[in-house]
Amino acid sequence: MNIDFHTHGKLSKKTEFSVDYFLEMIEEAKANGLDAIALTEHFNTIRFSDIYDTLDRLFPYNGHVYVADGLKIFPGMEVDIAETGHILMISTRENIRALREKLHDHTDPDHFVPFGVLLDWTEQEDILRIGAHPYRESTPLHHLPDELLNRLDAFDLNGKDLYQYSKKTYRVKVEQLAERFGKPVVAGSDTHQCLQYGSVWNEIEADCHSISDLKASLTSKAYQIHVSICLESKVKGAIMMKKLLKQSLEDGHDRFDEETQQERTG
């Protein structure tokens, strides 16, 4: 099974969830040979619940994963912590919804949840906790206490960071951090735009149907990480397209606001 552990379903936190945009993401994921993704949208994106409300409406859910035209979608989200850093949470739909509700008062940067509290809330067998992009300069994790980092299940080898920094040295740093705690490294594209799919992925020997299946494959090291020879062009193209799409949306909003004001002033 080929899976990407770090994906987003929206262009940005400030954009609405678009069914058409998400369906395009699914098609591109499959076109890049993926059998599964973990949907780890930012927990403090606007109207977070719209994502899972829409998935519930569109796709069958078997208690562990959604299946979208053959693509498995493991529910998840990306959570900011008070100490600076992001944690990927992958679990059942019910657990993700419940955790998001607990985080209701922690969506503002001044009130992000402490790392230890988040870990205490998610000390369950059916939650996979991954330290996202641990050496990203803006949101590092490597500086946090060892006793907290050791409670994670894995660390993220991030496609965007492999593009941003030296591929070889960055990967070594992530692998050394994971080795220090005896944890696996998993690949995630961190895509917000469909062109970034296939930049990195994990080839798991088993066909996983649940979080416990995923955990078993990771702890037994029954998987391989793949980094595309086209990583640079995929990520660069996705970044450029995302920038253009965001600008187009912002221009559209500005024109709407201007026309609305003109109508009001008549």
Answer whether residue 256 shows pLDDT above 50: no
Which pLDDT does position 249 carry in this prediction? 67
pLDDT digits (tens, 9 = 90+) for 12-60: 898 899 999 999 999 999 999 999 999 999 999 999 999 999 999 999 9
For residues 109-138, give the mean pLDDT: 96
Work out the mean pLDDT of the chain and round it to a whole number: 92
Domain ranges of the chain: 2-265
**Amino acid, res. 18:** S
Which pLDDT does position 14 carry in this prediction? 87
Task: Classify strands 71-80 and 86-90 as parallel, antiparallel or unpaired.
Answer: antiparallel
Answer whether residue 243 shows pLDDT above 90: no
Which pLDDT does position 258 carry in this prediction? 44
Note whether 75 and 40 are within 8 A (CB).
no
Answer whether residue 255 shows pLDDT above 70: no
> Between 124 and 36, where is the model more confident?
36
Answer whether residue 263 shows pLDDT above 90: no
Note whether 130 and 118 are within 8 A (CB).
no
Domain 2-265 has CATH 3.20.20.140: yes
Neighbours of 152 (CB within 10 A): 23
Answer whether residue 257 shows pLDDT above 70: no
Which pLDDT does position 250 carry in this prediction? 59
Answer whether residue 2 shows pLDDT above 90: yes
Three-state SS string over the chain comes to CEEEEEECCCCCCCCCCCHHHHHHHHHHHHHCCCCEEEECCECCCCCCHHHHHHHHHHCCECCCCEEECCEEEEEEEEEEECCCCEEEEECCHHHHHHHHHHCHHHCCHHHCECHHHHHHHCCCCCCEEEECCCCCCCCCCCCCCHHHHCCCCEEEEEHHHHHHCCHHHHHHHHHHHHHHHCCCEEEECCECCHHHCCCEEEEECCCCCCHHHHHHHHHCCCEEEEECCCHHHHHHHHHHHHHHHHHHHHHHHHHHHHHHHHHHHC
